[in-house]
Amino acid sequence: MGQSKLTPREMEVVSIACNGYSTSEIADGLGISINTVKTLLKRIYTKLEISSRAELALFSKDYFFDRSSIYDFRIQLAHVCITIHDQSGAFATYKKTLQISAIKEELNTFIDSVYSDGEVRDIVVEPGIISKIQSERGNSVITTKLEKSLAIGDEITRSVLCDLNDAFIKKDEYWIQDQSYPANEVIIEIVFPENRKPEGFEGVHRIGYYELKDINKPKWKNNRIIWNIANPTIKDSYKLMWTW
């Protein structure tokens, strides 16, 4: 039983199915019929010698998504909070807080990325010292060095803060959270000014080239959109969109 038995299309179906999507949602996401999805799932079950979604989830964990061994750390919780301070959307602040467990020895370097349609300014990291900032096409990549290396099992809480200028000035806006590291939970929070609230919003789970409305829908609470994502899949993206 192995990944090599599956065709690229079958691997796409496995990737989406194991994120909890129904047969009809898979069909919508891939632009194929429900019967085609059923046929593909039947073929996948036969090739892998399994008979249920639960067994398929175990297979995907072993062969697709459990890549923790190639990473230096695991994120217990990532909380990304964007506060839009004025009704024009011209000024916002970004804060990402990470609760991290080291899974390799001598961990002392972190790389963070902040993407914005506008200008990213006044970047601050805690703890550590910024050794390099590389900006290209709206993406700022920040390299941080710790004064003392972490050992396996050590835990640390990190934060990245910055200002975002002219980042949310359009009527239709969005924020994309790329999942580059293994994590237990991700929270995306967009705080709006009192005098301008969104007319509507939705969360989309991007798997490869495909976009599906996420099962765990973002919610509105206390003048903010909050999106809780449990066990996000490595290499996928989570896009929060709103109209205001």
| Position 242 pLDDT exceeds 90 | yes
Q: Are 125 and 201 in a shared domain? A: yes
44: containing domain: 3-66
Amino acid present at 90: A
Q: Which token pair is 153? A: 């099992």
The predicted structure's pLDDT at residue 55: 86
Which burial class, exposed, middle or buried, applies to 24 when counting CB atoms under 10 A from its CB (0-12, 13-18, 19+)? Answer: exposed
Considering 38, 66, 94, which residue would you say is the last residue of a domain?
66
Model confidence at 62, pLDDT cuts 50, 70, 90, reads low
Q: What does the mean pLDDT of the chain come to?
A: 89
| Position 108 pLDDT exceeds 80 | yes
State whether the Cα torsion 122-126-131-132 is positive or negative.
Answer: negative
Query: Is the full-model pTM beyond 0.85?
Result: no
Strands (E), the chain: 73-84, 91-102, 107-115, 119-126, 129-136, 139-150, 155-165, 172-178, 185-191, 200-207, 210-213, 219-221, 224-230, 237-243
Report which of residues 119 and 30 the model is more confident about.
Answer: 119
Q: How far apart are CA 11 and CA 208, in angstroms?
A: 11
The predicted structure's pLDDT at residue 157: 97
- The whole-number average pLDDT for the span 142-171 is 96
The predicted structure's pLDDT at residue 93: 98
| Position 238 pLDDT exceeds 60 | yes
- The whole-number average pLDDT for the span 78-96 is 97
The predicted structure's pLDDT at residue 69: 54
Closest CA to 163 of 227, 233, 99, 93: 93
CATH number of the domain that residue 104 is part of: 2.60.40
CATH number of the domain that residue 17 is part of: 1.10.10.10
Collect contacts of 148-151 with beta carbons under 8 A, ≥24 apart: 148/108, 149/105, 149/106, 149/107, 149/108, 150/73, 150/102, 150/106, 150/107, 150/108, 151/102, 151/105, 151/106, 151/107
Split into its structural domains, the chain has a count of 2
Considering 23, 40, 66, which residue would you say is the last residue of a domain?
66
Q: How far apart are CA 84 and CA 132, in angstroms?
A: 27
